[in-house]
Amino acid sequence: MIQPELWSIPLSTLTPDGLADKSAVLKQRLIDISNRFSDVRFATSLAAEDMVITDAIAKSKTKIKLFTLATGRLHQETVDMVKTTENHYGVSIAKIYPQDSDVQTFVDQYGMNGFYDGEEPKKACCGARKIKPLNAALLGADAWLTGQRREQSTTRTELNFEELDDARGIAKFNPLFDWTEADIWTYIKQENVPIHPLHLKGYPSIGCEPCTRQVKKGEDVRAGRWWWLQSDSKECGLHVNQ
């Protein structure tokens, strides 16, 4: 049987001058955010967009704190990327774990892999493993950053650089909101940013292991997230104001 061709890292399209301009704008955005707010935190998934922001944070020497949501269902490659990133940049990435009681409540009601049964149990799992830990991670912060881009999905086409996170009453920034996928990968190659191993295996978007699969060439970049759900919205709830 012929195996389908998988998504692969796109070719670079930015000129060196174009990349230099985008890089300068990104670093200035981070500096401006850091100057405006006293406690800024960045939620990194260790995937491509978030590695670009991590690189820019390190090079701009801002005091933005990094954390990752250690859901308990991540690929081993993602777990290993935390240490790889810390060693490469000399930074510390806080690991935010879900509460055992929240996970157990989900398992008791739906089963360990009950998220496959529909949107409601999927939201419940993300709530226990991602949203509640995110709330805990942002306690005391007055701003936070994401790696979201307009180009990523139909739900992000109107994404702005700055938003108000109504659910938490703090500012939220998307410093890559106007970057293309090709921009991201041009930066990564030019700046020698560490690459998550799954990107080299056909995964353009990476989440928890049981909820992420490889994407075929030509498919939407988020088609591998929660693929069993028939929905245009490929979101876990982290970026939906409650």
Contact present, 76 and 82 (Cβ < 8 Å): no
Q: Closest Cα to residue 178, out of 190, 189, 196, 162?
A: 162
pLDDT tens digits along 35-60? 999 999 999 999 999 999 999 999 99
Q: What is the CA radius of gyration of the chain?
A: 18
Question: Which of these is catalytic: 125, 126, 208, 236?
Answer: 236
pLDDT at 242: 41
In a domain, 236, yes or no: no
Q: Closest Cα to residue 147, out of 45, 68, 61, 232?
A: 45
In a domain, 66, yes or no: yes
In a domain, 235, yes or no: no
pLDDT at 236: 54
In a domain, 242, yes or no: no
Contact present, 69 and 103 (Cβ < 8 Å): no
In a domain, 231, yes or no: no
- The pair of structure tokens assigned to 41 is 């935190």
pLDDT at 103: 98
Give percent helix, percent strand, percent coil of the chain, each to the nearest 5: 45, 10, 45
pLDDT at 231: 64
pLDDT at 166: 94
pLDDT at 239: 47
In a domain, 227, yes or no: no
In a domain, 233, yes or no: no
Residue 133 three-state SS: helix
236 is catalytic: yes
- CATH number for 166: 3.40.50.620
Helix residue ranges, H only, 5-118: 16-36, 48-60, 76-89, 100-110
Residue numbers of the chain with a pLDDT score lower than 50: 233-234, 239, 241-242
Domain count along the chain: 1
In a domain, 222, yes or no: no
Name the pTM for this structure.
Answer: 0.92
Domain ranges, residue 58: 16-211
